[in-house]
Each structure stands twice: as structure tokens, then as C-alpha cells.
Amino acid sequence: MKIVTLTLNPALDKSTSTERLVPEQKLRCANLQIDPGGGGINVSKGIKKLGGISTAVFPAGGRNGDRLQELLGDWQIEMSVQAVAGETRENISVTENASNIQYRFTLIGPDLSVADADACLQRISDLKPEYLVVSGSLPNGLPTDYYQQVAVFSKKIGARLILDTSGAAMQAAVGEGVFLLKPNLGELSALVGETQLEINQVDDAALEIIGKNICEVVVVSMGAQGALLVTKDGFEHIPAPMVLKKSTVGAGDSMVAGMVWALSEKKSYREMAQLGVACGSAATMNLGTQLFKAEDAWRLFEWLKAYGDRYKITDFG
């Protein structure tokens, strides 16, 4: 099944490390790692690591935009690029080795016109995907309800929309309805009109979303506690394997990559969520913006299939 990812706010992800962050001093850093980034682009990278194929659709401009395309070419990822004015943004992450604390700096990108965003949608229409993954923030220049327009568009072309965003952009999109939604606990709370949810309220809140036809499937990302898979048939807790965490950069995108790849391979929803958790957990084992190593993801996936039942909570009929 054909997968297309849409990244309206792509970036060059730059990462390095230093022994200790000290104000007003020159700090010696490790070699700079530069990766193509942005939500949907990271999902395409994760799908590639799992042996799958996707097409990344995104706007790009300036030298950073050229570099972004060059790096994706090195990944051998198919892409359809809308040339735009302005310079594609950069993100910077610095790890302090002494504490293993990571500092992440997200820079503002260029304004994106509605015309350029709509041109990206036309490229997607021409590709005729079965699954459309929309991941990441909205750039300046687009209205906050633009992802709602994308949800309408995905229905028009017959694509299943997988949405991973936050804030007003997510709130607007779910009003139209999507196939799969991946909120974290804070985003789930906002969707049901609560400021905060206790852990024993999460399943009811997710079932409430399903009941309102906001989506067909919801996978609530709960960090070290794993994820909660919810459909109209019930819910199931997918535990997170215990791993040595080095970075959380790209963990959410890795999770989405695992899930959409599993869906394209016609895996069950349970296996979909398990592979998503495995990929997300594997991503935390690596520094910088490397996402996950395929061998780690598959090993954790096998662990979840073999031993995860000991830790799960399920209410499927």
C-alpha cells in the first residue's frame, strides 16, 4: 500500500554534544551531525529503516532546502518537493555529557503561503496514496485550521489520514475526523476538555474520542509507560520495554513510522501499536537525531510479542 508523508515545516536537524554547558564560555563540541528533519520526513526515514517505501512531500527553499533534499537523496527516499521562497529552517540539539541532559532549540522557519501548501496537496493527489501521514507543526503563514482542510482533502482522494500534531492545529483537524490519531497525555486531555487526566482516566477519555467519531483508531503515547491502543472494540495497554535512554528526539516520529509501516503490511492493530512502541523505545537509545536502529526495533518488537502480555491491560472483547 502506498504511503505518502506530508511535512509542511521541514528542517535541517543539527546535533552535537559538549562535556558541560557553562554560560559565557567557549565550549568544545563533538562533530556536528546534520540530518533531514521535520515530522513527516522523520516518519519516511523510519519507514525506510524498516524496509518500507514512502514518498516524502514537503516545501523547501534556499541552501538549507537544497541540503535537505541532498540528505534525503542519501537516504534513497522518494520525494516530491515544492520549491518556495525563504530559507528552510534549522533545529539544534546539544547534549551535556556530564548530566546526559539534552537542550533542544527549534528555530522559526519561513512563512508558507496557502498556495504553496495547496500545491503540496496537489502533489499528494497525483501520488494517490492509501495512507497519508501528516506530522509536525504548521509553519507561519498558514491558518491554524489548515490541517482540517487536509483532513477534508484526504477523504476526497480516498486516503487514510494519520495525524500527529498538537495544539490548535490538531483541534481543528479532528473536527473533520481522521483515521488514526496519536496524542500524548496532554493533547488527549485537551481533546476531551480537561486540564489534566489521571492515569486511570486515560482509557475512558480515548474511548470518548472514538465515540465522537473523531478517529477510528487512537494510540495514546505515554512515554516510559508505553501506549494505549483504543478502537471501537475496546482498549489495550502496550508496555514500553525498559531501555537505556540517551535522547527523546524523534521518538514520536519513530513510533508513527512503525505504526504506518505495520498498517501498510496489513498487521493487526495490536501488532501495529507494538511495533510503534518498539520503534519509539529504540529511538531513545540513540543520541542526536538518528531515530532508531532497525535491529533494536525488531528485537524490542519480538520482546513485546513474547512477553508484553504479562504487563498489558486489555478490555477487548
Q: Which residues are catalytic?
A: 253
DSSP letter string, 228-290: EEEETTEEEEEPPPP------TTHHHHHHHHHHHHHHTT--HHHHHHHHHHHHHHHTTSSTT-
Q: Which one, of 165, 161, 168, 167, lies nearest residue 145 by Cα?
A: 168
H-only helix segments in the chain: 39-49, 62-74, 114-127, 146-157, 167-174, 185-191, 202-211, 251-264, 269-283, 294-307
Q: For 221, left (φ over 0), alpha (ψ -120 to 50), or beta?
A: beta
Instruction: Report the residue count for the chain.
Output: 317
227-233 own/partner pairs: CB under 8 Å, 24+ apart: 227/255, 227/273, 227/276, 227/277, 227/280, 228/202, 228/203, 229/269, 229/270, 229/272, 229/273, 230/203, 230/206, 231/269, 233/316, 233/317
Residues in CB range of 125: below 8 A, 6 or more apart? 153, 157
